[in-house]
Structure 1
Amino acid sequence: MDYIIGMDIGTTSTKAVLYDLEGKALAYSNNLYALYRDTNGMAEEDPDEIFDAVIHGLQEILRKTDFKHGTLRGVSFSSANQSLIALDKDHQPLTRIITWADTRATKYAEELKRNGTGSLLYQHTGTPIHPMSPLCKLLWLKNEHPEIYTKTAYYCGVKEYIFYRLFNVWQIDISVASCTGIFNIFNLDWDNRALELTGVNRNQLPKIVDGYQQTLHMNAEYAKILGYPSDAPFIQGAFDGALSNLGVGAISEGEVAVTIGTSGGVRVVTDHPVIDPKERVFCYALTKKLWVVGGPVNNGGVIFRWARDNLFDAEQNTAALLKIDSYDLLTKIAETVPAGADGLIFLPFLGGERAPIWDADARGTFFGLTQMHTRANMVRAILEGIVYNLYTVLLALEEVVGKPKSIMATGGFTQSPLCRQILADIFETPITIPEDFESSCLGAAVVGMKSLGLVDDLKVVKNFIGKTNTYEPDSNNFKAYRQLVPIYIRLSRQLKSEYQNIADFQRGQA
C-alpha cells in the first residue's frame, strides 16, 4: 500500500493527515502554537514554533504508522497565505511571521486606495488593497521600521521558510506567490510596479515554482530526527483556501466552496484570471491553469468563540458539569429564538473585515436592540451575522462569475446542525457538508498525488470526499431573512464613515 501525507500550516496550528491512495484518512496530528498580539493591530507568530510544529506533526504521523507493508510516497503542503518574514543575509529571521491578520499596515493600504495606485495594482495582481497583503506590510516595514528594512536581504512567507530550513531551497509556489500583492497574475512573475513601490528587488524574493514541484535531499540533521525516507519528496502545494476548494471537490465551473473556520471564505475555481471591477474579490492561483476567485472574511468561528468567552461564562461552567461541548450548549440556546433573532442584527466585524468591504477599521455592531431581546437573541444574531457577511461575498462573486450551481461548506463552524441550517436558509440553496472537514490537507494530498503521477486529474478528489450531508433551505425562514439581509447590507455600508473615527479613538486609548 502507498501513502501520502497532506500537511496544512495554518494560523493557529499545523495539521497533518496520512492518506492512502483512495483518499482514506489513516492517521492525524494537530500541533498548536501561539498568535502574538503584543500591540494594537499586531498578529504575529514565531517561525521556529511553527517549524517545530511541522517536525512534531510529521514525527507523530510516522510514529503512528507501520510502513513495513507500504511506502510513504511524499508530503504535500498547504499553508496560510499572505504571511511575511524578513530575513538577513544568512536567511535568519529579523522578524516574527507577520500574518494575514496583522493590521498595522492600515495607513499604507488606505493611502494606496486614496491615490489610485491601489486600483492599478489590483488590476495586475488580483489582490485587493488591505493591510493583510504583503505589499502593504512591506510599505509598513519600509516606513516605520527602517532599521529592519535596511538589514533585510530576503523576504518570504511561512511555507518558504520551512522549505528553506529543511532543504536549503529558496522557492515559492505560484499559488502562494499570487496572494502577495506583488505578483502579476497575467505574466506569472513578480510585478514590476509593485516591486518599484516597495523598493524590493527580485533577488530578495524566492524563485517562483509550480505547485507540483518536488524537493528531495532533506538536510541530514532533520532527516535523522524524522527518520524520513530519502526517496520521498516534499511537494510544494498551494495556499490553504485554494486547497480547501479542491478538498471539497469544488473545482469545476459554478461549484462554490464556503469555508468557516476561525476565519472564513467563499471561493470558486475558474480556468482563467478574473478581475472584479468593484475590487471586492481576489483572484489567486491554484495551479498555472486553475484560478480561485473569492472573498476571505476575518470573522468566522472566532466570533462564536468571542461570544462564548465573553457573554456566556456561566454556560461554560454548566457545559462542563453536564460534560457537553460549550458550543453545542450555545447553539441549543440560539435554537430557542426564531430565524431573524426577533429583528436583532449583528455586524460581525470584531477584527476589521476583508471581503467584501475591505476595511480594517470596521467594527462590530448590534443593531435593533430592544428590551425584549435576551442573550439568546444575541447568540442567534451572532451566528446569523457571520453568515450574512458570507452571503454578501457570494453576491459579489455572482456578479463576477455567475450564479453557483452547487455549494459545499466545510470548517469547524459547519459542524453544528443549526449553523448548517442558517447557512442554507440565508443562502436559499442546498448546502452540502463533507463529513471529513480537513479539506486543505486532502487538497494538498491530491496535488501531491498528481505531482507523483499517482492520479491523472485533480478531479479525482470527487471520489475521495466520502459521505456528505445536504441541508435544504427551510422556506419558513425565508421571509425573515429576505427582509433582514438588505438591512444588513445597507447598515454595513452606511456605518463606513464612522468606522475610522471609532477605530482612531480606540487606538488612542490603547
Structure 2
Amino acid sequence: MPDGLWAYRVSADQSLLGGAVNDVGRMISWLRSTLALPSASAVTRQLLAVPTEPAPTVLPFLTGERAIGWRSDARATFGGVAAQTTAMQLYRGGLEGVVISYARVFEQLSTVAGAVQEVRVNGSQTLDNPGLLQMMADVLGRPVTPVGIKRSTLRGTALVALQVVAPDVERAGVVFDEAYEPGEVLRPYYEDARARWDRLYDEVVVGGAAGA
C-alpha cells in the first residue's frame, strides 16, 4: 500500500482504501470570508472560463496535511503573488491547490486499485461550487459525478454493514446529478499548475520549512 493512503480492514477479503484531505471546506470558507470576491454568480463564471494567466500556487494546508504527506506542521503557502494579483486569482489558486491535493490521492489509489471506474463527489462545499467540480474533472481527466444525497459516507458504512446483517435485501438507489466532463483545452494549463505546485511543496514542506 502506498505510504500516503490509509486502509480499513472490513473483513478477511475486503478493505476500504483511501486518503483524507484536510481543509477543503475550511480553505474555501476562509478564502470566501477573507477575500473581497465578486458575487457568487460572477465567481462561478470566472472559474468556468479559460484562465488567461496562471493563478498563484497555493498549498492549502491551514491546519496541516494528512494524505499524502502526513505533515501536521504544514501550513498554507501562497506562491507567485504579485502586486497586481486579484482576489479572484487568489481564490482560483486556492481551489486549484485543493484539487491538486485530491489528484495526489487519486494517483496513489490508481496504483493499487487499477483503472478508476468512477469519480463521485459529495458535500456541500463541492456540490455548491460548479467551478470546483469542473476544475476537478479537468485536473483528474475523468468525469466527475455529484451524488445527490446527504451523508454519503454514512450510506457507504451502512452498505458494508448490510452485507453481513441483510445481504439479500435490495438496496435503495442513489440520485446522481449530471456529470462534469473533462476538457482538453485546459490540460497544458493544469499540467503547468501541477508542476509549480509540486516544486513549492518540495521546497516548503519536504524541505522542512513547513512550520516556519
Name the TM-score, length of structure 2 as normaliser. Answer: 0.85
CA gap 1:474/1:439 in 2 versus in 1, 3 angstroms? same
Task: Quickly say closer, same or farther: Cα 1:286–1:351, change in 2 above 3 A.
Answer: same
| Separation (CA, whole Å) in 2 of partners of 1:411 and 1:355 | 19
SS at the partner of 1:363? Answer: coil
Q: CA deviation at 1:361?
A: 0.8
8 Å CA contact 2:121–2:144 kept in 1: the answer is yes
Letter in 1 for 2:139: I
CA distance in 2: counterparts of 1:333 and 1:285, whole angstroms: 43
Question: For the residues of structure 1 that align with 2:137 and 2:115, how far apart are their CA atoms?
Answer: 15
Residues 433 and 336 from structure 1, CA distance in 2 versus in 1: closer, same or farther, beyond 3 angstroms?
Answer: closer
Please name the residue that 2:89 is paired with.
377
Alignment match, 2:189: 480
Structure with greater strand share of residues:
1
1:403 to 79, 95, 115: 115
Q: Provide the C-alpha distance between the structure 1 equivalents of 2:131 and 2:65, rounded to a whole number of angstroms.
A: 24
> Which among 167, 178, 182 is matched to residue 469 of structure 1?
178
The answer to whether the Cα contact below 8 Å between 2:8 and 2:17 also exists between their aligned partners in 1 is: yes
1-side partners of 2:53 and 2:158: how far apart? 41
Distance 1:468 1:488 in 2: 31
Aligned residue for 2:145, secondary structure, equals strand
Deviations for 1:78-107, whole angstroms, at most 9, x for unmatched residues?
xxxxxxxxxxxxxxxxxxxxxxxxxxxxxx
CA 1:304–1:382 in structure 2 vs 1: closer, same or farther (change >3 Å)? same
RMSD: 2.6
Q: Does 1:348 align with 2:60?
A: yes
2:114 equivalent to 1:391: no
3-state SS, counterpart of residue 472 of structure 1? coil
Q: Cα offset for 1:289?
A: 3.2
Question: TM (normalized to structure 1)?
Answer: 0.38
2:78 and 2:12 map into 1 onto residues whose CA distance is 43
Confirm whether residue 310 of structure 1 aligns to residue 67 of structure 2.
Answer: no
Aligned to 1:424: 137
Q: Residue 13 of structure 2 is aligned with which of 285, 289, 294? A: 289
Q: Secondary structure of 1:292's partner? A: strand
AA aligned to 1:489 is D
1:491 aligns with 2:200: yes
Aligned residues: 209
State the AA in 2 paired with 1:468: D
Q: 1:398 to 1:467 in 2, by over 3 A?
A: closer
Paired residues of 2:55 and 2:92 also in contact (CA < 8 A): no
1:122 corresponds to: none
Q: Does the aligned pair in 2 maintain the 1:347–1:385 contact within 8 Å?
A: yes
By how many angstroms is 1:386 displaced?
0.5
Unaligned runs of 5+ in 1: 1-274, 320-327, 503-510
Residues 446/423 of structure 1: CA separation in 2 closer, same or farther (3 Å cut): same
Identity %: 25
CA separation of 1:386 and 1:340: change in aligned 2, threshold 3 A: farther
Which structure has more relative contact order (CA 8 Å, sep 6+)? It is 2
Amino acid at match of 1:498: A
Matches within 5 A, 1:76-155: none
Q: Give secondary structure in 1 for the equivalent of 2:83.
A: coil
**2: CA distance, partners of 1:301 / 1:341:** 25
Per the TM alignment, residue 337 of structure 1 is displaced from its structure 2 partner at its CA by 6.3
Specify whether residues 436 and 495 from structure 1 end up closer, same or farther in structure 2 by C-alpha distance, changes over 3 A only. same
Deviation at 1:406, TM superposition (A): 2.1
Q: Secondary structure at the match of 1:284?
A: strand
